[in-house]
Amino acid sequence: MIEFRKDIFADERDDNLNEIGKPTRRQDILGHVTGRSPFYDDHQFEGLLHLKCLRSPHHHARIRSIDTKPAEQMPGVHRIIQGSDVKVNLNTLLSLMNFGEDDEPVLSDKKVSYVGEPILAVVAETERQAFDAIAKIRVDYEVLPHVLDPEEALQPNAPLVNETMPGNAFPYHEKYNHQKLRFGDVEAAFAQADHIVEDRYQMSPIEQAPIEMCGAIAAPETNDRFVCYTSTQALFFSLGTAAKVLDVPSNRLHFIGGTVGGGFGGKVDSLHEPLAILGCMLTGRAVRYAFDRQEEMQVGAPRGAERWYIKDAVMNDGRITARKFTGYFDVGAYTRLSSYAIIKAAGHLPGPYTIPNVYADIYCVYTNRTPATAMRGFGITGVDFAIESHMDQIAHKLGMNPIELRLINSYMDGDMKAHRREAKNTALVECMQVAAEKSGWNIAPDFKAMSSHNGGEGWRSEIPHTVTDTNGQIGNGVPASTVRPATTSIPAYVPSQNPSYAAPPAQPARPVSPPTPQSNVQATPTAPPQASAPASSSTPKRPRVSRFSSISGTRRR
Amino acid sequence: MPMHSQVFSQIGEAAHALSSNRSSRYFGGGTLVMRQVNAGNQSFDTIIRSTDPSLKQVQISGDQVIIGASVTMSQVIASRDLDFLKSAASVIGGPAIRNMATVGGNLFARSPYGDFTTALLALEATVALSGGRSDVPIADFLTQRFREPKPLVISVSVPRPRDGNAFRFLKIMRVKPMGVSLMTIAAHLPQSGGRLANPRVAYGSMGDTPIRANAVERALEGKTLDAQGIAPALAVATEGITPRTDSIASEWYRREVAPAHLERLLLGTGG
Amino acid sequence: MAKKPIQFQLNGSSKSVFVEEGQNLLEVLRREVGDLTPKLGCAQGACGSCTVLIDGEQIVSCLTLAETVEGASVETAAGLANGPTLHALQEAFMDGFAAQCGFCTPGMLVSAKALLDKNPSPSRGDVIEAISGNLCRCTGYEPIIDAILAAAGNGHNSAGRYSGSGRQS
């Protein structure tokens, strides 16, 4: 049962609510219990073809050659799709919002940067026939050194994971290899502190693991359009990405979705629609492209690993006077949405606490892991785990009640937050009071009497004199971070028996000949071929001009 | 290559088809083979089944229970003659899997699966092969099971424990009630005069096959089944064994927790 | 590729289809027969979203060789309702918020039906055991367990209507 604490903030709202606070049936639950909810795969198509991808078995490798000849004539194979078939074969998801740089191929036929990266696609009458054909394709790999830890990836001699991103770090504001947050002077506060409490926190990648696997079915529709049924959580996002990557006007795309068998953030990456639609364009038939369970777990984007170093200046009475963060987001091989996650995290710091001096460097780091994406509290969950664990560490060190410690430092209305917004409608104080009451956790009467309305006084509402720096400036050399060795060794990856992961061939491959197009869609040249970059770079390239974005600069109110 | 499916009413015909076709697999309940078929596994293209009704029988023969290879886990659970194996059969998969998975099929399950086989190993069962021996010790069978020509199991013969309480089984899972085994322990602990006589302990999910914990067995021989008596056995819980590292747990972790779980099993405080 | 004809009962109706050798029952039900209620969640028998009943017993259709259902009686979630009248389990799920994304729901309902058909008054432990092969990533299971118990507690029968606590529909 839900209990409504209407006594709290009672003067701030009307209480004439008709729907909120009353149980009501979900509008879609009748479909769920009758099995009629139209998930993307619950549509029948005559002559449906199946698309499966050949995927990299290596963390990092250059592709010398691909021989698709043995597969082309196999029973049931309609088309083999390669990178050259994709009109715009280099994309980043946030280009739809003019943020970042195109860095990820739809099909990677020159270099692969994570296990499971798709190299080409086979479209066949049945999945089995697609698997059989994939098993016959010969790929000649030159295995490259790989890096699987974000701090190692930032070392000057680390393998270059993503050729668009020198130094394996996303360039923020075209200036720095990390996102900065500066508020006040943490070093001065450290010098004055009664205690310094510092620790390291980390989180492994977490797979959303929905019961429904990602997928899309595309079919020709009337008036030279394509209809696409998809599991995506973000229909317009997916439509825009497909339009860009396939270079078709968006009014030729008819996307149908919104019935998602569990997303949790894992169905925002729009991997499936472009290839399904392209398969449809190239064959003239309905095409289904879906992950199987192994692909969902291995290739489907997880919430990325994070590592946080937190150093606090703490006074004997429990006031935290400074908080310094160094955060590493391991975003895997490609940017996708992660560049935005870091900015979200920066705006979230130092947590729901008013701390007069805050310093953060947050890195968006590329490693040879599966590219990461959103999940439940995108950009925030990992750092909140770190922050709240750290608060408990402080309470333990001071011998203080951990709830009282939080109340002492809680933000309140009128306080200035570290990213220079005034705190409004805060409720941490009241939430902790009720949580303490409900769990029978004693807090002193003074704390029970606190209110979120009592903020904003004196220094709390002011932006302090802030010390800034130009550490990590791109082009001026990036200082090496202190290497802290990972404490767990990562077992060697053993490619599975699944034929989607082609094993290296037993004999040298013949040179590839380009496939002849089988449809009347003109295969125009893709983005200009990448200059073959060295496997590692010692000095970062001057970045191409990246697009300005409302995310990182002026924000709409 | 398209899949082929062959069904034979006589087990001998099925065995012949299996041994003469290197790209075939025997289909018991389907819980292992169909996973591979669904994944497009390229190492076989033919499924072979037999509808021979003798494969589904449970028979008593003296002090042995003979379990047909196609007997399902659900049948084991429902069978009075197999009540001592109920604890093992009950933790194989979920209810649907138990309705399908067979005793014979579990003999071919690779780690970290094969929990029922671990129980059979501790009970020193023997395996009857079509066209071959009828009493292959299960430990020997496990070392040969994937060799060509592929063996076709007709039945498993299990000595009935004289004291049903002497057989203990523990499957350690992170996710309950249906989870993959981190470690499975099966132990037959007969006693004579209050002391253990010929104890047998088998581990599952610790190696590439279920294995006997010989050092533990030697250390338990003649001891009392209490904290003091089992202490030497706990000290050698993983002696001679290199636990596997897989997606469930690392070698280090398995080595660390093995004595704790063994203690719970032996003192009856586990599960 | 040779196809085998099979004939079986699906939710009380006779079906005749041709199946591929090695084809699983889930694919046959969805693509050949057109019953889209069992879902594909893993093709490994681990998630249970493909659960159907064969002769009253829970099985995972993704691991069932289609040709083995010759002559059998198969039940799916599509057979729960009696025309426009929902099964007590379906009503209980709707009232009890026992579905969010809905993908595991058909499998859950089928497993629950198998239980209640054999054991009309299950304990909470019986319910947990019955759905232990059905994974849900959304609800945390408690609403599902409660709904099944509620359906059982209110005089469940195969065509009955759940008369719950009088909430608006």
Per-residue pLDDT of chain C (169 residues; tens, 9 = 90+): 569 999 999 999 999 999 999 999 999 999 999 999 999 999 999 999 999 999 999 999 999 999 999 999 999 999 999 999 999 999 999 999 999 999 999 999 999 999 999 999 999 999 999 999 999 999 999 999 999 999 999 644 433 333 333 333 3
d(CA B159, CA B63): 6
Instruction: Note whether A131 contacts B245, CB cutoff 8 Å.
Output: no
Instruction: Note whether C58 contacts B95, CB cutoff 8 Å.
Output: yes
- Of the candidate CATH numbers 3.20.20.80, 3.90.1170.50, 3.30.9.90, 3.40.50.10860, the domain formed by A49-144+209-298 belongs to 3.90.1170.50
Against chain C, the chains showing at least 3 CB pairs within 8 Å are A, B
> Which of C65, C114, C133 is closest, CB to CB, to B30?
C65
Nearest CA in chain B to C51: B96
Instruction: Note whether C93 contacts A29, CB cutoff 8 Å.
Output: yes
Tell me whether C137 touches chain A (CB under 8 Å).
yes
pLDDT in tens, B69-128: 999 999 999 999 999 999 999 999 999 999 999 999 999 999 999 999 999 999 999 999
Question: Does the C88-153 domain belong in CATH 1.20.120.530?
Answer: no
Tell me whether B175 touches chain C (CB under 8 Å).
no
Surface-to-core class of residue A233, CB atoms within 10 Å of its CB (0-12 exposed, 13-18 middle, 19+ buried): buried
Asked if residue B258 and residue B180 are part of one domain, the reply reads: yes
Quick one: pLDDT band at residue A498, thresholds 50, 70, 90?
low
Identify the pLDDT of residue A6.
86
User: CB contacts < 8 Å between B and C, how many?
Assistant: 84
To the nearest whole angstrom, how far is the Cα of B104 from the nearest Cα of chain A? 23
Q: For residue B215, what are the domain limits? A: 164-267
Task: Report the residue of B1, B32, B111, B247 to disrupt the A interface, i.e. the one with the largest count of A CBs within 10 Å.
Answer: B1
d(CA A339, CA A319): 33
pTM assigned to the model = 0.89
Nearest CA in chain B to C47: B94
HSE value, Cβ hemisphere, 13 Å, CA-based, for C8: 26
Give me C155's structure tokens.
């005089």
Identify the pLDDT of residue A309.
97
3-state SS track over A255-287: EECCCCCCCCCCCCCCCHHHHHHHHHHHHCCCE
Position C89, amino acid: L
d(CA B230, CA B213): 14
d(CA B242, CA A440): 47
Per-residue buried b or exposed e for A160-169, using 16+ beta carbons within 10 Å of the residue's own CB: bbbbbbbbbb
A120 neighbors A112 (Cβ within 8 angstroms): no
Last residue within a domain, chosen from B102, B126, B159: B159
**Domain CATH code at residue B140:** 3.30.465.10
Instruction: Note whether C137 contacts A37, CB cutoff 8 Å.
Output: no
> Which of B5, B177, B178 is closest, CB to CB, to C22?
B5
Q: A284: alpha, beta or left, given left = phi > 0 and alpha = psi -120 to 50?
A: left
d(CA B188, CA B186): 7
Nearest CA in chain A to C22: A128
pLDDT in tens, A159-195: 999 999 999 999 999 899 999 999 999 999 999 999 9
- Percent of chain A topping pLDDT 70: 85
CA-based nearest residue to B108, from B136, B69, B80, B78: B69
**Which uninterrupted H or E stretch holds A382?**
helix A381-398
SS3 at position A1: coil
Count of domains in chain B?
3
Instruction: Note whether B43 contacts A135, CB cutoff 8 Å.
Output: no
Biggest CA-to-CA distance, chain A: 80
Per-residue buried b or exposed e for A65-94, using 16+ beta carbons within 10 Å of the residue's own CB: ebbbbebbebebbbbbbbbbbbbbbbbbbb
Identify the pLDDT of residue A12.
86
Q: B104: alpha, beta or left, given left = phi > 0 and alpha = psi -120 to 50?
A: alpha
pLDDT in tens, A285-311: 999 999 999 999 999 999 999 999 999
Which chain C positions have a beta carbon within 8 Å of A260's beta carbon?
101
Q: A525: alpha, beta or left, given left = phi > 0 and alpha = psi -120 to 50?
A: beta
d(CA B67, CA B225): 31
Which chain B positions have a beta carbon within 8 Å of A498's beta carbon?
39-41
Name the strands in the sheet holding A138-143, side by side, starting at the edge strand that comes first in the sequence.
A111-112, A61-67, A138-143
d(CA A135, CA A21): 56
Per-residue buried b or exposed e for A145-158, using 16+ beta carbons within 10 Å of the residue's own CB: ebbbbbbbbbbeeb
d(CA B216, CA B193): 20
Give me C98's structure tokens.
């026992």
d(CA A468, CA A465): 10
Angle at A550 between CA A548 and CA A554, to 5 degrees: 105
Tell me whether B74 touches chain C (CB under 8 Å).
yes
Give me A288's structure tokens.
């289904």
**Domain CATH code at residue B195:** 3.30.390.50
> Which of C64, C114, C132 is closest, CB to CB, to B177?
C132
Identify the pLDDT of residue A474.
86
Task: Report the residue of B32, B33, B37, B42 to disrupt the A interface, i.e. the one with the largest count of A CBs within 10 Å.
Answer: B42
Nearest CA in chain B to C60: B96
To the nearest whole angstrom, how far is the Cα of C27 from the nearest Cα of chain A? 11
Quick one: pLDDT band at residue A478, thresholds 50, 70, 90?
low
Question: Does the C3-79 domain belong in CATH 3.10.20.30?
Answer: yes
Least confident of A60-74, A207-221, A447-461, C143-157: C143-157
Instruction: Note whether C101 contacts A41, CB cutoff 8 Å.
Output: no
Give the gyration radius of chain C's Cα atoms.
16
The domain ranges of chain C are 3-79, 88-153
Nearest CA in chain B to C67: B5
To the nearest whole angstrom, how far is the Cα of B185 from the nearest Cα of chain C? 22
pLDDT in tens, A342-353: 999 999 999 999
Phi, psi for residue B136 in degrees, rounded to 5: -75, 125
> Which of A34, A210, A292 is closest, CB to CB, to C43?
A292
Bridge partners, B72 (sequence order):
B102
- Does the pLDDT of residue A266 top 90, yes or no? yes
C130 neighbors C112 (Cβ within 8 angstroms): yes
> Which of C24, C68, C133 is closest, CB to CB, to B93?
C133
Residues sharing a CB contact under 8 Å with residue B55, sequence separation 6 or more, in sequence order: B11, B68, B69, B70, B71, B104, B154, B155
- Of the candidate CATH numbers 3.40.630.30, 2.40.70.10, 3.40.50.970, 3.30.365.10, the domain formed by A150-206+303-461 belongs to 3.30.365.10
Which chain C positions have a beta carbon within 8 Å of A31's beta carbon?
102
Instruction: Note whether C20 contacts B2, CB cutoff 8 Å.
Output: yes
Instruction: Note whether B42 contacts A75, CB cutoff 8 Å.
Output: no
Identify the pLDDT of residue C159.
38
Task: Report the residue of C85, C101, C169 to disrupt the A interface, i.e. the one with the largest count of A CBs within 10 Å.
Answer: C101
CA-based nearest residue to A174, from A165, A185, A162: A165
To the nearest whole angstrom, how far is the Cα of A490 from the nearest Cα of chain B? 10
Asked if residue B124 and residue B60 are part of one domain, the reply reads: yes
Quick one: pLDDT band at residue A476, thresholds 50, 70, 90?
low
Angle at A21 between CA A208 and CA A422, to 5 degrees: 70
Identify the pLDDT of residue A494.
55
Chain A residues whose C-beta is within 8 A of a chain C C-beta are 23-26, 28-37, 39, 41-42, 44, 208-213, 259-264, 292-293
Against chain A, the chains showing at least 3 CB pairs within 8 Å are B, C
**Chain B 31-60, CB below 8 Å of chain C: which residues?**
31, 34-35, 37-39, 47, 49
Instruction: Note whether B97 contacts C1, CB cutoff 8 Å.
Output: no
A275 neighbors A241 (Cβ within 8 angstroms): no
CA-based nearest residue to A355, from A400, A379, A325, A376: A325
Chain B residues whose C-beta is within 8 A of a chain A C-beta are 1-3, 36, 38-43, 245, 250
Identify the pLDDT of residue B55.
97
Instruction: Note whether B39 contacts A135, CB cutoff 8 Å.
Output: no
To the nearest whole angstrom, how far is the Cα of C136 from the nearest Cα of chain A? 7
Instruction: Note whether B3 contacts A128, CB cutoff 8 Å.
Output: yes
Mean pLDDT by 10 residues, chain B (271 residues): 94 95 96 96 96 97 97 98 96 97 97 96 97 94 93 97 93 90 97 96 96 98 97 97 93 97 91 50
Nearest CA in chain B to C59: B96
Instruction: Count H helices and E strands in chain C, helices first.
Output: 5, 5
Quick one: pLDDT band at residue A17, thresholds 50, 70, 90?
confident
Asked if residue B202 and residue B226 are part of one domain, the reply reads: yes
Chain A residues whose C-beta is within 8 A of a chain B C-beta are 52, 75, 127-132, 135, 292, 294, 491, 497-500
User: CB contacts < 8 Å between A and B, how many?
Assistant: 33
Instruction: Note whether A25 contacts C95, CB cutoff 8 Å.
Output: yes
d(CA B189, CA B169): 11
Residue with the two structure tokens 């008596």: B229
> Which of B1, B43, B250 is closest, CB to CB, to A132?
B1
- Does the pLDDT of residue A536 top 90, yes or no? no
Give me A544's structure tokens.
């191409």
The domain ranges of chain A are 49-144+209-298, 150-206+303-461
> Which of C59, C63, C64 is closest, CB to CB, to B35?
C63
> Which of A23, A209, A262 is closest, CB to CB, to C167?
A23
Bridge partners, A81 (sequence order):
A121
Phi, psi for residue A164 in degrees, rounded to 5: -85, -15
Nearest CA in chain A to B245: A491
d(CA C34, CA C20): 16
d(CA C161, CA C90): 9
CB atoms under 10 Å from CB of B5, counted, come to 21
Which chain A positions have a beta carbon within 8 Å of C137's beta carbon?
208-211, 262, 264
Instruction: Note whether C20 contacts B3, CB cutoff 8 Å.
Output: yes
CA-based nearest residue to A345, from A58, A551, A103: A551
